[in-house]
């Protein structure tokens, strides 16, 4: 098993029994939005540092350890070296505080989303968005996300089968650009075809349940017969 999958990944949901985890998803979404907005409006180093402290506190309150915090911080601060290098090249060492401020603000703009993912289940977030998104759009998003594990499992199976038949699709082999075409042919095409067929099956199943129809679905002959048996 790869090392990263054992340790988790940035933004992975952590089930903890803390007041933060028990907060309604809508409240957490508002908090995240407000803190991101505060980061956008603010242009002072002290205010940015206060925001950093607030995020430390929020991570601590959610009982997320140093490992999770570092995982998330690594993701959000990867742009920092580029920003610092550009500013230092253009304006010299005098621009270091400004470069640090911009780097911190860039990081603070991305951190809320990761914290939200760490502390809130996807289903809870979807329930909140289902309140104000159009119901048909919410259905498409929910279905697309619902079948992610299935597609992932199928993708893994296709990957192992192709490996067994000797296709050069392993990540190590992808360093060689000559293997990219094989990756497209052996992995991308079967996975995408499987997704298309899955979309077919889901749409047919949804239609039969009357989803997306203006009139409710008519009971099938079989269900009518079953009803007659139960309630003669």
Partner 1 sequence: MTGQTNTKYWLGFTLREALVTGFSAVGIILAQQFLRIPMHLPGHRLLPLVFFLLLARACIRACWVATLTGFLAGLMSLLFGMGHAGPMQLLSFVIAGLIADIVFRLLPRLTRSVALSAITGAFMGVSWVLVSIVQDRLLGLDFSLAVTHSLLRAGGAMIFGALGGAFATPVARRMQASGTIMPDVPSPEVAADSPEDRTSVQP
Footprint of partner 1 on 139-198 (CB under 8 A): 140-141, 143-145, 147-148, 151-152, 180-181, 184-185, 188-189, 192-193, 195-196, 198
Closest CA to 8 of 117, 108, 141, 123: 117
Closest CB 229 distance from partner 1, rounded Å? 28
For residue 50, the Cα-to-chain-centroid distance in whole angstroms is 27
Closest CB 5 distance from partner 1, rounded Å? 12
One of 34, 40, 53, 225 touching partner 1 (CB under 8 A): 40
CA-to-CA dists, residue 159 to 151, 155, 180, 198, 206, angstroms: 12, 6, 14, 18, 29
- Rounded distance, CA 71 to CA 77, Å? 10
Rounded to the nearest 5 percent, the helix, strand and coil shares of the chain are 75, 0, 25
| 227 scored as a contact of partner 1 (CB under 8 A) | no
Q: Which is nearer to partner 1, 176 or 203 (CB)?
A: 203
Say if residues 64 and 2 touch (Cβ distance below 8 Å).
no
One of 20, 35, 73, 76 touching partner 1 (CB under 8 A): 76
Query: Residues 118-137 vs partner 1: string with x where CB under 8 A?
Result: ----x--xx--x----x-xx
Q: Which is nearer to partner 1, 60 or 217 (CB)?
A: 217
Say if residues 110 and 11 touch (Cβ distance below 8 Å).
no
Count the neighbouring beta carbons within 10 Å of the beta carbon of residue 227.
Answer: 11
Run of H or E residues at 128: helix 122-132
Q: Which is nearer to partner 1, 67 or 207 (CB)?
A: 207
Q: Which residues bind partner 1 (CB under 8 A)?
A: 9-11, 32, 36, 40, 43, 74-76, 78-79, 82-83, 86-87, 90, 101-102, 105-106, 109-110, 112-117, 122, 125-126, 129, 134, 136-137, 140-141, 143-145, 147-148, 151-152, 180-181, 184-185, 188-189, 192-193, 195-196, 198-200, 202-204, 206-207, 211-213
């Amino acid at each position: 098993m790869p090392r990263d999958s054992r340790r988790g990944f940035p933004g992975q949901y952590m089930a903890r029994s803390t007041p933060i985890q028990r907060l309604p998803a809508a409240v957490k979404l508002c908090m995240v939005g407000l803190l991101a907005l505060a980061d956008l409006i603010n242009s002072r180093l002290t205010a940015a540092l206060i925001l950093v402290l607030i995020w430390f506190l929020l991570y601590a309150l959610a009982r997320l350890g140093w490992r999770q915090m570092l995982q998330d911080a690594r993701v959000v601060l990867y742009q920092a070296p580029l920003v610092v290098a550009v500013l230092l090249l253009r304006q010299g060492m005098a621009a270091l505080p400004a470069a640090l401020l911009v780097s911190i603000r860039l990081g603070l703009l991305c951190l809320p989303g990761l914290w939200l993912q760490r502390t809130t289940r996807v289903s809870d977030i979807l329930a909140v968005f289902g309140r104000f998104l159009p119901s048909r759009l919410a259905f498409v998003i929910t279905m697309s996300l619902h079948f992610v594990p299935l597609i992932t499992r199928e993708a893994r199976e296709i990957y192992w089968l192709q490996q067994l038949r000797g296709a050069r699709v392993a990540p190590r082999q992808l360093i060689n650009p000559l293997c990219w075409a094989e990756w497209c042919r052996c992995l991308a095409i079967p996975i995408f075809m499987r997704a298309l067929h899955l979309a077919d099956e889901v749409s047919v199943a949804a239609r039969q349940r009357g989803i997306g129809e203006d009139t409710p679905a008519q009971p099938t002959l079989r269900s009518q017969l079953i009803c007659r048996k139960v309630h003669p």
